[in-house]
Structure 1
Amino acid sequence: MKPSVADSATHPSPIGVRACLRAFGTPIQSLKGVGPKRASQLESFGLTTIEDLLYHLPFRYEDRRQIRKIASATPGEEASFVGRLLALQKKYNPRRRSQLLLGALQDDSGSVDLIWYRAPRYLANGLANGQTLLVHGKIEQGMPGRLRIVHPDFEVIETIIEEQPLQRILPMYVRPAGLPLSLMRRWMAQALCEYRGYFSYRLPPEIIQRHRLMTVADALAQLHETPLEIDIHAFNEFASSAHRTVIFDELFYLQLGLGLRKRSRAKSAAIHFSAKSAPLGARMRDLLPFKLTGAQQRVLNEISEDMKRDQPMQRLVQGDVGSGKTMVAWLASLQAIDNGYQALWMAPTEILAEQHFRPC
């Protein structure tokens, strides 16, 4: 779901269309922390530019708006807690070349065990006894009388400030293996901060108002940095106003591009067929063991009128299986042949091509 060239032609940005296109085409490696290795990982997912990154939308949102007391934890549920990391143990297994991390998170109501199997080095080096952590994960029954969380998500909290609440709705992204979610969120935030202004030339205001949408910049901001007051069910169903805006934006400019192309083609000269007699078409009708239906004849008449005009014809014939679309196309082809031209048929599959080629 990406910005197109067509919209910039209709609503030029004060920044300048070329500047906008150059900005969206900026390599993703320009972001802080995206080195050659990370860039290669992202490229494997089709993410090479700022535009690719901004339109890489979350597939799910986790509700972490409630910070629970550890004493209220129940096995089988997912929950978030804030506490102090205690009894951290780092056990290295030389045979498996992996590290096991064990610890406990404690608040003023109780404690829960934390376990990381095969913990990567960066994680082991980043944890220390006494740190305040914001932890989220699935509660499991551990040792008798103990609860545990295996491979919890966590953030180290340096200081707890009332103006910066720990509650949040966390966007989840499809990402390369080994790439932390926190990095994806950080890059999204940086890209939004630096490139949000380049969306100023997007959908016309009257369109936004008529369809109760929002600007694309606001929509992407909500999708990547989700505010606490949103309807998380609508976001997880891709039915939010932000989702509808991005979807409408893509389809609107796709249709606009097709409309502009159609208008341009209508101005170009085309072969037009005369209304002279059509012996091949008449002979074909005589050979048919049935008469054309009213709908077939109506569509064929419309096609015939189009083929007499000076503008190129673009027409889609739609109908159920067995409704006679092929016969309509065949009689239209004979009209071209009757006027001294050729007709070319293309089929989407080899089997269908053979069916059309095979004599009846």
Structure 2
Amino acid sequence: MRRGGSPFTIEMGNLNLFTPLRFVKGVGKRRAEILKREGFEFVKDLLYYFPFRYEDRREKVKSFEGLVGQKVFTTGKITSLHSFTTFRKRVNIIEALVDTGATKFRAIWFNQPFLLPNLKKGKSYSFYGRIKLNQKGWVMENPEFRISDDSERTGIIPVYERIRSISPKIIRNLIEEIFKNNVEIKENLPYFLIKKHNLPERGKALYEIHFPPNDFNFSSPLSSPQFRRIIFEELFFMELGLAY
């Protein structure tokens, strides 16, 4: 905040938990209004909006042997692409044949014709979805995809519930923007309790919930030190409130 200036003038890099979200790069007036209507007014509201699940994108696979029924992360080039609508049920289907270099699979999307302009024959994409095997070979239904490039995010990826028209990807980007600006997160627990219960500090816990390290227990996140810290924090202040 500029000294002597408007109390609503926030300089870049001066984010804290009570900075209005409209000052976060990428939010803008329209998104700020949507977020506020849904109860997200300040930076803290978004940082305490936790993923409902995580996806393991630490390793790209080329071959699917032994992975039937599992979600996989892979990269491949689309060698054929077509879209059609079934005669009886009028279901729109987009089907792409993808070559990973080690094997081929069909990526199929149902009733999502709006995806077609984003798919191009001859281009390479990254795909994430559940791999299946049927009489026609390997298949992935309704996978997530994006053009494959060096800036692609890998690792353990958080997945958020959509907030109205704000997609999980946009939510992830906004949270990343907050941390890129070195948001100030003040500790709110006594240090002797943090040490006694072997808990991470508040800022570290929040960061690693949204950007998990490779050893993060994403299959049972609530048992992780990061979430244990948040749960302890909530219970601590709940009991403190009851005491008064």
TM bracket (short chain)? 0.7 to 0.9
2:83 corresponds to 1:84: no
CA offset at residue 248 of structure 1? 1.7
Name the structure 2 match of 1:349.
Answer: none
Alpha carbons of structure 1 residues 104 and 27: separation in structure 2 relative to 1, 3 Å:
farther
Alpha carbons of structure 1 residues 204 and 150: separation in structure 2 relative to 1, 3 Å:
same
- Name the SS for the 1:138 alignment partner: strand
Q: Deviations over 1:293-338 (max 9, x none)?
A: xxxxxxxxxxxxxxxxxxxxxxxxxxxxxxxxxxxxxxxxxxxxxx
2:102 corresponds to 1:116: no
Alpha carbons of structure 1 residues 233 and 54: separation in structure 2 relative to 1, 3 Å:
same
2:230 corresponds to 1:246: yes
The count of corresponding residues between Structure 1 and Structure 2 is: 229
Rounded Cα–Cα distance in structure 2 between residues aligned with 1:206 and 1:36: 42
- Which of residues 208, 216, 230 in structure 2 aligns to 1:222? 208
2:18 corresponds to 1:31: no
Correspondence 1:1-360 to 2 at 5 A: 23-39=16-32, 41-43=34-36, 45-72=38-65, 75-89=68-82, 100-119=93-112, 121=114, 123-141=115-133, 144-159=135-150, 167-176=154-163, 179-194=166-181, 196=183, 198-235=184-221, 238-259=222-243, 262=244
Rounded Cα–Cα distance in structure 2 between residues aligned with 1:217 and 1:27: 18
CA offset at residue 217 of structure 1? 0.5
Alpha carbons of structure 1 residues 233 and 103: separation in structure 2 relative to 1, 3 Å:
closer
Alpha carbons of structure 1 residues 252 and 212: separation in structure 2 relative to 1, 3 Å:
same
- Name the SS for the 1:199 alignment partner: coil
One-letter amino acid of the structure 2 residue matched with residue 140 of structure 1: K
Rounded Cα–Cα distance in structure 2 between residues aligned with 1:146 and 1:178: 36
CA offset at residue 190 of structure 1? 1.3
Paired residues of 1:73 and 1:139 also in contact (CA < 8 A): no
Q: Deviations over 1:10-43 (max 9, x none)?
A: xxxxxxxxx9xx8433333433333455445545
One-letter amino acid of the structure 1 residue matched with residue 231 of structure 2: I
Rounded Cα–Cα distance in structure 2 between residues aligned with 1:124 and 1:184: 24
Question: Any gaps of 5 or more consecutive residues in structure 2?
Answer: 1-9
- Name the SS for the 1:57 alignment partner: coil
Rounded Cα–Cα distance in structure 2 between residues aligned with 1:36 and 1:100: 37
Rounded Cα–Cα distance in structure 2 between residues aligned with 1:120 and 1:184: 24
One-letter amino acid of the structure 1 residue matched with residue 125 of structure 2: L
CA offset at residue 181 of structure 1? 2.6
CA RMSD of aligned residues (A): 3.3
Alpha carbons of structure 1 residues 189 and 120: separation in structure 2 relative to 1, 3 Å:
farther
Rounded Cα–Cα distance in structure 2 between residues aligned with 1:100 and 1:28: 39
Q: Greater helix share, 1 or 2?
A: 1
Rounded Cα–Cα distance in structure 1 between residues aligned with 2:125 and 2:210: 23
Question: Any gaps of 5 or more consecutive residues in structure 1?
Answer: 1-18, 263-360
Rounded Cα–Cα distance in structure 1 between residues aligned with 2:232 and 2:156: 24
Paired residues of 2:92 and 2:110 also in contact (CA < 8 A): yes
Paired residues of 1:85 and 1:103 also in contact (CA < 8 A): yes
Structure with more contact order per residue of length (Cα contacts < 8 Å, sep ≥ 6): 2
Paired residues of 1:116 and 1:151 also in contact (CA < 8 A): yes
Paired residues of 1:28 and 1:50 also in contact (CA < 8 A): yes
Q: Normalising by structure 1, what TM-score? A: 0.54
One-letter amino acid of the structure 1 residue matched with residue 158 of structure 2: P
Rounded Cα–Cα distance in structure 2 between residues aligned with 1:234 and 1:250: 19
One-letter amino acid of the structure 2 residue matched with residue 252 of structure 1: F
